[in-house]
Structures are given as structure tokens and as C-alpha cells.
Amino acid sequence: MKSNLHRRQPKDVDNTGFSPNSAAEGSRLINKDGSTNLRKIGLGIFERYSIFHTLLRMSGTKFLSLVFLFYTATNIIFAFVYLAIGIDKLSGVEASSNFLTNFTQAFFFSSQTMTTVGYGHVAPHGFIANAFASIESFLGIITFALVTGMFYARFSRPKAYIKFSDNILIAPHKEGRAVMFRLATYKNNHLTEVHAEVTVAIHHLHDGKRVSKFYPMPLEISRINSLAISWTCVHYITEDSPLWLMRQEDMRDARIEFMVTIKAFDDNYSNTVLQRTSYNYDEMVYGAKFELMYKRSDAGDVTEVMMNKINAYVPHAFVEDVVENA
């Protein structure tokens, strides 16, 4: 290993939002999906969760199921209410001695009221039944007003739709090495003015306790005009880099973690979008290069981006490592 003498110490930063001793043993600071690996305690669940944020971020299937569940549950509750009022107050229903028959008829009347379909072959009779029907139809409209709003919020929520390579590579670059990962948009959206910012977290053992330090990792190109094909972000490991002279085992020992933030302007939404991810040591490949992920189409008229090759790399051993390990 080369001499450490002339090493310029890179400056660590303290504006990451994480603290020097926030790193839990064996875990990451940023999850792969970009969320922070934190838990908030000491708050009631309603205080801690934003219902809106939760509904916004759940999967579409889950959201639709939840709405259907709410619809069914509300109808069940109102069915019981109408039964309590008396099945004879729903004119058009033939009262039965069978509870289930009465219940289902009340349930269907409720659903006709809540959705405002109101066929009318069953209709409320008397003050109390009418009052509850009046409330239920109001509730139905309010519910579906809320759902309409949520739908819009869900599918209009700006998203970057960026796919990152699974691995971060230590690849040969110029006269030395570089840290490289790549990304591409996988949907028919278009990002312009794309900025990338990478911070590396190095968790050194200090008197048996891990102390975290954070360093910015300057990229060779940190802003591109348009994310047209794919973008390989390159941090060249120079003397100024926090990774200068770190060997593979040093990185593992320091439980190194790369925190990545991509910020861009979405042409369709006319909005700024942001996506984050992180790479920890296990996702680092030492001595490898990415394969090209685009080619000219067979017809020759268009460039094809091969999204399935975003993770493809070829090994590329470093001479000095071979010597060193010998």
C-alpha cells in the first residue's frame, strides 16, 4: 500500500441530518427505497402518521381494497341501523322471519343509498329511516369526494421513476479508480436538469464505539441537461477523496454507505422530483466495469436503451491489488 504521508485530510460535513453516533450496528442509514432507517417514538399513532401521506404512498391495489372495505363496512353498519329501526320501515322489502334475508335487503338498500343509485323499489318510510337514509347518502357523497381527491393526489404525485443499478462499482478510471453507479428512467417520463449528490458515511470504530463521519463525494459530472439514455455517475478517487487509499477491507470495516440523491425537473408534470437511494458495502463490487446499455436499433433510426442491462457489469481486476494480495 502506498504511503499515507501526503494525504490531505478531506473535510467531513455535519449537515446531513444524521448525527455522529446515529449509526445502528449492522444497519443502514438510508433504505434502498430512499426512506430513512429511523423510527419515531413517543407520539400517538394519529400524531405520528399523516393519513394523507400513508394513503398516498400505499400501493394502488391496497388503496382500492381499503376503499372497497370501507364501502362494505359502512353498508354493514347502516344495514344494522335499518334493521334496528325496523325492516318494515323500508317499504318494498318483504319482511322475512329469516334474519339473513332481512339483513341482505337492508344491506342492499344501504348500498343503493350510499352510491346514490336509489332505484326506489326499496325506499325509506317514516322519519327515522328517512333521516338515516339522508345522512347515509350525504356520507356516501362525501366519501366519494374524498376518494376522488385521493385518486387525483395519488396518480398526479410527481415521481422520478428512476431505476438505479443494483450495485455500485469500484472501476478503473483514467489513471486510477472511480466509484460508479448508474441510473435511467424506466417510464415514458422525461427528466431535465438532473442533479446528483452523493454523500458517503464512514463509520469508524473509536474506543469500541462506532463514530460516523460524512463526506461529500464530488462527481465528475454532477448535473446533466436531460436524462435521455442512462447516466453513469462517476466519483474519481483522487487524493482529495474520502476513499483515497482505502482498500476493499477498509471499506468493509468502516461499513461504508453511499447516500444518493437525484433531483430533476419532470417535463410532463412541470415539477421538481427527487429520488434517493443508498448503497452499502454489500452492494459494492470491487474491480468491475459497467457494460454499455444502449445500442442503435436494427433499423438504425433510433437509439435503444436496454433497461434489462442496467445491472450488467464485467469484472476488471486491479493490477495493484493482485500484486498486493500476492
Q: Which of 291, 296, 315, 325 binds a copy of itself (CB under 8 A)?
A: 296
**7, 187, 204, 206: residue in contact with a copy of itself (rule CB under 8 A):** 187
Contact region for a copy of itself (CB under 8 A) — 144-152, 171-179, 200-208, 316-324?
144-152
Q: What is the DSSP letter of 13?
A: B
- Say how far residue 287 (Cα) sits from the centre of its chain: 29
DSSP class of residue 66 equals H
Q: Which of residues 235-254 bind a copy of itself (CB under 8 A)?
A: none
Instruction: Give me 157's grid cell.
Output: 404525485
Stretch that binds a copy of itself, among 169-177, 188-196, 246-254, 278-286 (CB under 8 A): 188-196
CA 149 remoteness from chain centre: 21
Out of 247, 289, 309, 316, name the contact with a copy of itself by CB under 8 A.
309
Of positions 58, 66, 83, 147, contacts a copy of itself by CB under 8 A: 147
Interface with a copy of itself, residue 77, by CB under 8 A:
no
End-to-end distance of the chain based on CA atoms, in angstroms?
Answer: 13
Options 58, 66, 229, 285; binder of a copy of itself; rule CB under 8 A: 229
CA distance linking residue 150 with residue 93, whole number of Å: 36
Contact 234, 123 (CB under 8 A): no
Note whether 219 binds a copy of itself by CB under 8 A: no
Q: How far is the CB of 76 from a copy of itself (least distance, A)?
A: 12
Binding flag, residue 224, a copy of itself (CB under 8 A): yes
Gap between the Cα atoms of 187 and 303, Å rounded: 16
Binding flag, residue 81, a copy of itself (CB under 8 A): no
- Residue 7 or 296: the one with the smaller Cβ distance to a copy of itself is 296
**Whether the Cβ atoms of residue 34 and residue 183 lie closer than 8 Å to each other:** no
- Min. distance of Cβ 324 from a copy of itself in angstroms? 33
Residue 133: Cβ within 10 Å count: 24
**Contact yes or no for 302/179 (Cβ under 8 A):** no
3-state SS assignment for residue 262: strand
CA distances from 71 to 85, 138, 297 (A): 21, 14, 50
Cβ 225 to a copy of itself, closest distance in Å? 5
* Only segment of 3-11, 216-224, 283-291, 315-323 that touches a copy of itself (CB under 8 A): 216-224
Nearer to a copy of itself, 130 or 248 (CB): 130
Per-residue contact flags (x/-) with a copy of itself for residues 15 to 54, judged by CB under 8 A? xxxxx--xxxxxx-x----xxxxxxxxxx---xxxxxxxx
Sole residue written with cell 370501507: 70
**Exposed, middle or buried: residue 28 (CB in 10 Å: 0-12, 13-18, 19+)?**
buried
Nearest alpha carbon to residue 67 among 136, 145, 134: 145
In the window 192-211, what residues touch a copy of itself (CB under 8 A)?
A: 192, 194, 197, 199
Q: Amino acid letter at 224?
A: I
Measured from the CB of residue 277, what is the shortest distance to a copy of itself in angstroms? 12
Q: Where is 170: in which H helix or E strand?
A: strand 168-173
Cell reading at 160: 422520478
Run of H or E residues at 293:
none
Among 58, 67, 81, 285, binds a copy of itself (CB under 8 A): 67
- Does 156 bind a copy of itself (CB under 8 A)? Our answer is yes
Distance, C-alpha 37 to centroid of its chain: 13
Q: Which stretch binds a copy of itself (CB under 8 A): 240-248, 279-287, 300-308, 315-323?
A: 300-308
* Residues in region 88-127 near a copy of itself by CB under 8 A: 91-92, 104, 107-108, 111-113, 115-124, 127
Q: Is residue 227 a contact point for a copy of itself (CB under 8 A)?
A: yes
